[in-house]
Amino acid sequence: MAPLKEWRIRALVTVLIFQTPSAILPAQWDLGGEIDRRLQRGIDHIYNLEFYDADKQFDEVIRLRPDHPAGYFFRAMTQWWRILSDFDNESQDERYHEMLERVIGLCEERLKRDPDDITALFFKGGALGFRGRLRVNRGNWFGAIQDGLAALPIVRRAHALDSTNYDVLLGIGIYNYYAEIVPREYPIVRPFMIFLPSGDRAKGLEQLHLAAEKAKYARTEATYFLAQSYFLYEKNYAKAAELVGELSRKYPRNPQFLRYWGRCLVTLSRWEEGFKVFSRVVESFEKKQVGFREIDAREAYYYLGKYFFLRQRYEDAAKNFQECERLSYLVDKNEESGFLSMAVLHRGMIYDVTDRRKDAVAQYRRVLAMKEYEQTHRDARRFLETPYKGSAQ
């Protein structure tokens, strides 16, 4: 099930204006073997949501090089993933902003001494970009736009100074790809593009591939963006599954990678594999593993329900759809989600095939009272007129 259109528009605007600089990770400077190894280990810990271990690595980098922005920047990235793992809790936001301000201040001091300090350009652009990402997700569009427009010339300057750096290539590739895709797919975004250069879809995809293969620090980000691009716009679901499956195997504790992998698999009708992936999501949620929230479990329960439904294991399917519905009421804010309406619809279909017509009718009427998602209203009306008889329909 694809995300709701409104959510996708917001996310893609964020990518175009704010995430381009935020994806720029450090250039391949010489910080020394031990510091570089700590940075790499810390980054791996971030993606695996092992925040304490990540902080230890970056704190040591700060101790060894207090004058360099790398340790401070990645310490803030640990904080960013803490926020993502419990996004409705805003108590971590102030600390995050303070950490980014420290990165920006350190970079500005370096740029006063040398306006072409590429390390300072990278980290200042990254800090502005990540600040913009949080602001847009908290609804502060004006502040986010200011951060994005301030960051874009910084990242373009960095690229001009070091166009062969594969970590830089990630941000440029993201911009080139989405600057062509988004205005065409989502006209609501076009006003933002007045202030921004045009894109090149083919070139952007090529640059993302190069970053995914050769970047020193940004390889994971590049791989994830490639997977999303192949899934959403290239419609190459097998390639998307391959890429995000690679990430999930490397970072098994990351719910975002795991959910996306499962989504790719069920889109390919590889239901047995998808069942295993979404079962892992539910298991991690029930164990209260860091980062696995109601929103993750809600999606997993839906697809587990669908798996059982397709195999006519209706009792198991109903249990999972009911759990999806319960969690949807906890997760959904302003309106019903597609997961909720689809879960209610499927429960009605299960009631029909198990000879509980009165209960089925009640479910279909509930669907009609909700916001329509894809064809939920059409199907509900159809099954109100003619009971659902099974997969032959």
Per cent of the chain over pLDDT 70 is 89
Q: How many C-beta atoms surround the C-beta of residue 119 within 10 A?
A: 19
Q: Please give the C-alpha separations between residue 241 and each of 248, 262, 304, in angstroms, as whole numbers.
A: 10, 8, 18
Locate the domains of the chain by residue range: 5-235, 260-385
Note the pLDDT tens digit of each residue in 246-259: 999 999 999 999 99
Note the pLDDT tens digit of each residue in 206-238: 999 999 998 887 889 889 989 999 999 999 999
Q: Give the sign of the dihedral formed by CA 342, CA 348, CA 350, CA 353.
A: negative
Note the pLDDT tens digit of each residue in 55-102: 999 999 999 999 999 999 999 999 998 988 888 788 989 999 999 999
The single-letter DSSP state of residue 216 is: S
Q: Please give the C-alpha separations between residue 29 and each of 19, 103, 123, 124, 146, in angstroms, as whole numbers.
A: 22, 17, 13, 16, 29
The helix (run of H) or strand (run of E) holding residue 300 is helix 294-310
Quote the Cα angle for 384-388-393, to 5°: 120
Quote the Cα angle for 375-241-52, to 5°: 110
Q: Which bin fits 291, alpha (ψ -120 to 50), beta or left (φ > 0)?
A: left
Note the pLDDT tens digit of each residue in 182-198: 777 767 667 766 666 77
Do you know the residue count of the chain? 393
What is the model's pLDDT at position 326? 96
- pTM value? 0.85
Note the pLDDT tens digit of each residue in 328-339: 999 987 788 999
Which whole number is the average pLDDT over 311-323? 97
Q: Is the pLDDT of residue 4 over 50?
A: no
What is the model's pLDDT at position 244? 97
Q: Is the pLDDT of residue 2 over 80?
A: no
Q: Does domain 5-235 have CATH number 1.25.40?
A: yes
Q: How many C-beta atoms surround the C-beta of residue 109 within 10 A?
A: 13
Q: Is the pLDDT of residue 385 over 90?
A: yes
Query: Do residues 165 and 28 touch, judged by C-beta distance below 8 A?
Result: yes
Per cent of the chain over pLDDT 90 is 60
Residues 6+ apart with CB under 8 A from 203: 173, 176
How many angstroms from the chain centroid is the CA of residue 13?
Answer: 13
Which one is the CATH code of 260-385: 3.30.470.30, 3.10.20.30, 3.30.420.40, 1.25.40.10?
1.25.40.10
The per-residue pLDDT of the chain, averaged, comes to 87
Nearest to 193 by CA among 180, 204, 205: 180
Confidence of residue 265 (pLDDT cuts 50, 70, 90): very high
Note the pLDDT tens digit of each residue in 130-157: 888 788 778 777 777 777 778 777 877 8
